[in-house]
Structure 1
Amino acid sequence: MVKAEYWDVTDAQVIEKTGQPLAHWMGVLEAFGARDKPSKAAVDLLQNDHGVPRYWARTLTTHHLKQGQ
C-alpha cells in the first residue's frame, strides 16, 4: 500500500522534473476534465502532448485526483 503523502509533491520537485509548477499541471488536468476520464487518458495527455516523463505524469494525475476527494 502506498502512503498517502507519497502523492504530496512540491513545486520545486515538479519544476525540476517537468519544467512547470504544480499549479500549471493542475490547470492542464482541470481543462482536460481529468476527473471525468480514465486516469490513463490523463497520463497519456501529459506524457504525449506535454512531454512529461511517465512517472511524473502518473504522479501529477494521482495528485490531481486526490485533491478532489
Structure 2
Amino acid sequence: MKTDYWNVSDEQVIEKTGKKIDDWMQLLETFNAGEKKSNEVVAYLQQEHNVPRY
C-alpha cells in the first residue's frame, strides 16, 4: 500500500468516519480483509459500516 494513503491523522479519520485508524484496521483484520478481494472488502464496508464507495 502506498504510504501517501496513510499520511492522515487520527483526528482527520475520526472527523470523516467517527473511528480512529486503529479501529478501522482492527475491523478489517477481524473481517480477514487481507484474504479477500478488494470488491468484497468494499462491499462489506459499504453494507456494514456505511462507508461510501468514493
TM-score bin, normalised by smaller chain: 0.7 to 0.9
Give the superposition deviation at 1:6. Answer: 2.4
Query: 1:45 & 1:13 partners in 2: Cα distance?
Result: 22
Q: How many residues align?
A: 52
Uncovered stretches (5+) of structure 2, i.e. residues with no partner = none
Comparing both chains, which one has the higher relative contact order based on Cα–Cα distances under 8 Å and sequence gaps of 6 or more?
A: 1
Uncovered stretches (5+) of structure 1, i.e. residues with no partner = 56-69
Q: Once superposed, which parts of structure 1, at least 4 consecutive aligned residues long, lie more than 6 Å away?
A: none
CA deviations over 1:27-58 (Å, ceiling 9, x no partner): 11000000100011111111111112223xxx
Maintained 8 Å contact 1:34/1:42: yes
Q: Percent identity?
A: 48
Give the structure with the higher percent helix: 1
Match of 1:41 in 2: 40
Residues 43-62 of structure 1: pairs in structure 2 closer than 5 A: 43-55=42-54
Look up the equivalent residue of 2:5 and give its one-letter code.
W
Residues 1-69 of structure 1: pairs in structure 2 closer than 5 A: 4-8=2-6, 9-55=8-54
TM-score (norm 2): 0.79
